[in-house]
């Protein structure tokens, strides 16, 4: 549950401008009413349902209208999951109700309170006025909750909310500060632990309990079984079944068919990392064919001319310094895989080169499907290990988690809670800042998981992330452009591509519907100063000068705004889901996605099963990989599916109708994917809307 970040005016230090209260400009003095004309109001106050959402402190309320304000006195301490209703008579004419002020009065102890919303019915409300909050109320400062109708600056020509908007954003900037994790990377929120984060961005108790209990259980099992197996060695590939996670249906299929070329190629289109493969426009310069390989050259050129030649190039890993784990050197390769697309949609490997050519050295060895089975299998395992590195660091962490964090921090720093784009985006930031802070402090930190068991740990992973920043192009975050650039638009066996395009279209229509309610012209977009600051905050500051990679510095039309917003929401939802949900399916069987390799890439094709086993992770490393994959890849009990958030940030009926249409389109897509998958040998579920989370939470 996310907070709306309203302005807090702290105690006796609060200073209001003449004629203002909480930043609201009053239009006329407030006349008193005769006793028989008392304004009668009904107020409901809703508290969050989590165990600690209530407070032992009393709450004081004020109603603020265009012509004055009324102190309603104190409420009893709010209880979790409860709505408090009170009826009051106000002897003042307040005019149109603009906001509700609230203040938590502490006694001996300060007890935080999670306020969901407040409603008011009475004179000046035109029915029941809704004041969204969805935030923790801390300390004894005054919080101002504007009525839930979204307003841009131009929607407030009398500047009733001008000062309130400015104060709110300035207050947020002191709480949501840009931090720095590693040089050359995009920016995170400031803070190295969850306690450094605003409370509104931390896990609620249910999420926190599930996360920590599941992690503790996994680590306990790892410690017990790892201790018992210290003297056990893996001697055959079959021995990796000792650490096999409880299988999903697809993981069981991987176990049975992982050696098949068809499944190897399938993963580039629909596996855990469908972001690398592309149609070849020419034969790669690094692919040096030795004399005697004229037949392969002919085959490659034939597929190239037919438009059926594809490649997966892992040059991002070239020159990365490998890890040393328990005094044992690990190894990293930077393979190139050339594949051909068959008429039946299967993508089959033609040749694998494990390392780029080096000046003054013989051409690197090329591995072919016709090679001895163990040599060909080891070459494919090396590719799978390289894909593990690129997937986890570039596709998952950087493109999924860290870019979503940039969007969320920039939004909190730039847009007031009244702004329609704030209200549109805020449901898609839930828990993102905490899960990313946890990742930086435990997963990719010094002595973290990557350092302990991954071949690119101990610094190599940071080098990969720094290199990968240059590949964060705007087009690569927009599936219609990305799939076109990679030549995948007409590849019907690329189920990721089909589903990504469809989900992008649904999000785009949702965004267009919302934008159309608040921006009636291109000029309205260009003349929205808050919107322009927000765009620049993302591109120039958070993404560290991404205008050089195609991201906009300003928004000049409704179409451009809609495209940018669609990218933001897709990144925080579908893009992350496509990189996250496949981990348990594809990495449960360790040889299909080994986290490290313990022997260097082969230099001959004289390979035995022992050579393969000795290259793979040892049993302890494999068990650690299994533990983390199981923990991260399991079904999340605390999960909100795309578009299904319960928080109501818009009070006006227009946006609610647009959201309902969005939910209906998602439900239709969900049902049709179910029907399609029932007819497929290998179902693709990672972009099925009911499985896509509404934000990056794990």
Whole-angstrom Cα distance, residue 202 to residue 637? 17
Per-residue pLDDT band at 21 (split at 50, 70, 90): very low
Tell me the per-residue pLDDT of 232-276, one tens digit each, with 9 for 90 and over. Answer: 778 899 999 888 777 789 999 999 999 999 999 999 999 999 999
Count of Cβ atoms closer than 10 Å to residue 648 Cβ: 16
Residue 6 reports pLDDT greater than 50: no
Share of the chain above pLDDT 70, in %: 93
Structure tokens, 245: 């996670």
Tell me the per-residue pLDDT of 286-335, one tens digit each, with 9 for 90 and over. Answer: 999 988 899 999 999 999 999 999 999 999 999 999 999 999 999 999 99
260 or 96: which leads in pLDDT? 260
Structure tokens, 626: 């299994």
For the segment 550-570, the average pLDDT, to the nearest whole number, is 98
Element (H, E) at 516: helix 495-518
Residue 9 reports pLDDT greater than 50: no
Residue 347's pLDDT is what? 98
Structure tokens, 192: 């190295």
Element (H, E) at 186: none
In the block, tokens 């009733």 appear at 160
Q: Counting beta carbons within 10 angstroms of the beta carbon of residue 294, is it exposed (0 to 12), middle (13 to 18) or buried (19 or more)?
A: exposed
Residue 463 reports pLDDT greater than 50: yes
């Amino acid at each position: 549950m996310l907070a709306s970040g309203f302005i807090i005016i702290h105690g006796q230090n609060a200073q209001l401008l003449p004629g203002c209260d909480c930043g609201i400009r009053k239009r006329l003095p407030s006349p008193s009413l005769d006793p028989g004309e008392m304004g009668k109001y009904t107020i409901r106050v809703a508290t969050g349902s989590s165990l600690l959402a209530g407070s032992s402190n009393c709450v004081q309320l004020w109603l603020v209208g265009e012509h004055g304000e009324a102190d309603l006195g104190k409420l009893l301490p709010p209880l979790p999951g409860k709505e408090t209703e009170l009826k009051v008579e106000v002897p003042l004419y307040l005019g149109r109700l603009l906001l509700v002020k609230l203040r938590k009065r502490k006694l001996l102890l300060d007890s935080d309170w999670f306020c969901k919303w407040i409603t008011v019915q009475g004179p000046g409300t035109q029915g029941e006025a809704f004041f969204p909050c969805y935030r923790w109320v801390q300390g004894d400062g005054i919080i101002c909750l504007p009525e839930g109708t979204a307003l841009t600056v131009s929607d407030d020509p009398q500047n009733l909310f001008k000062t309130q908007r400015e104060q709110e954003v300035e207050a947020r900037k002191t709480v949501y500060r840009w931090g720095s994790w590693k040089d050359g990377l995009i920016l995170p929120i400031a803070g190295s632990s969850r306690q450094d984060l605003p409370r509104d961005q931390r896990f609620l108790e249910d999420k926190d309990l599930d996360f920590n209990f599941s992690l503790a259980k996994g680590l306990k099992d790892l410690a017990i079984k790892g201790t018992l197996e210290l003297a056990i060695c893996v001697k055959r590939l079959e021995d990796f079944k000792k650490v096999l996670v409880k299988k999903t249906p697809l993981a069981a299929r991987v176990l049975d068919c992982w050696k098949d070329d068809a499944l190897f190629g399938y993963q580039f289109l629909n596996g855990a990392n469908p972001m690398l493969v592309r149609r070849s426009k020419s034969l790669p310069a690094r692919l040096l064919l030795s004399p005697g390989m004229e037949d392969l050259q002919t085959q490659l050129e034939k597929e190239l001319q037919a438009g059926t030649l594809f490649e997966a190039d892992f040059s991002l890993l070239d020159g990365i310094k490998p890890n040393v784990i328990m005094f044992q050197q690990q190894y990293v390769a930077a393979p190139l895989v050339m594949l051909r697309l068959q008429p039946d949609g299967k993508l089959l490997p033609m040749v694998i080169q494990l390392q780029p050519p080096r000046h003054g050295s013989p051409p690197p060895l090329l591995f072919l499907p016709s090679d001895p089975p163990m040599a060909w299998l080891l070459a494919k395992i090396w590719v799978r290990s390289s894909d593990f590195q690129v997937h986890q660091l570039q596709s998952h962490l950087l493109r999924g988690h860290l870019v979503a964090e940039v969007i969320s921090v920039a939004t909190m720093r730039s847009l007031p809670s009244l702004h329609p784009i704030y209200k549109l985006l805020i449901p898609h930031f839930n828990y993102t800042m905490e899960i990313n802070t946890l990742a930086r402090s435990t997963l990719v930190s010094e002595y973290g998981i990557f350092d302990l068991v991954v071949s690119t740990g101990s610094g190599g992973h940071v080098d990969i992330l720094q290199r990968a920043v240059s590949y964060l192009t705007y087009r690569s975050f927009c599936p219609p452009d990305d799939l076109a650039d990679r030549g995948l638009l007409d590849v019907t066996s690329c189920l990721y591509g089909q589903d990504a395009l469809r989900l992008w279209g649904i999000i785009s229509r949702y965004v267009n519907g919302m934008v159309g309610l608040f921006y009636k012209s291109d000029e309205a977009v260009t003349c929205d100063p808050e919107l322009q600051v927000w765009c620049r905050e993302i591109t120039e500051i958070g993404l560290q000068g991404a205008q050089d990679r195609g991201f906009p510095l300003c928004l000049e039309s409704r179409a451009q705004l809609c495209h940018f917003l669609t990218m933001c929401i897709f990144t925080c939802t579908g893009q992350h889901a496509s990189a996250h949900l496949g981990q348990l399916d594809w990495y449960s069987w360790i040889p299909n996605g080994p986290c490290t390799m313990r022997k260097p890439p082969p230099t001959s094709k004289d390979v035995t099963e022992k050579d393969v086993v000795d290259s793979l992770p040892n049993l302890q490393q494999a068990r650690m990989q299994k533990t983390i994959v199981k923990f991260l890849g399991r079904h999340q009990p605390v999960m909100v599916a795309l578009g299904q958030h319960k928080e109501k940030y818009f009070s006006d009926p227009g946006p609610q109708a647009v959201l309902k249409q969005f939910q209906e389109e998602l439900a239709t897509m969900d049902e049709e994917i179910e029907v399609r998958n029932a007819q497929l040998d290998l179902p693709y579920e990672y972009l099925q809307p009911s499985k896509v989370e509404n934000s990056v939470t794990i």
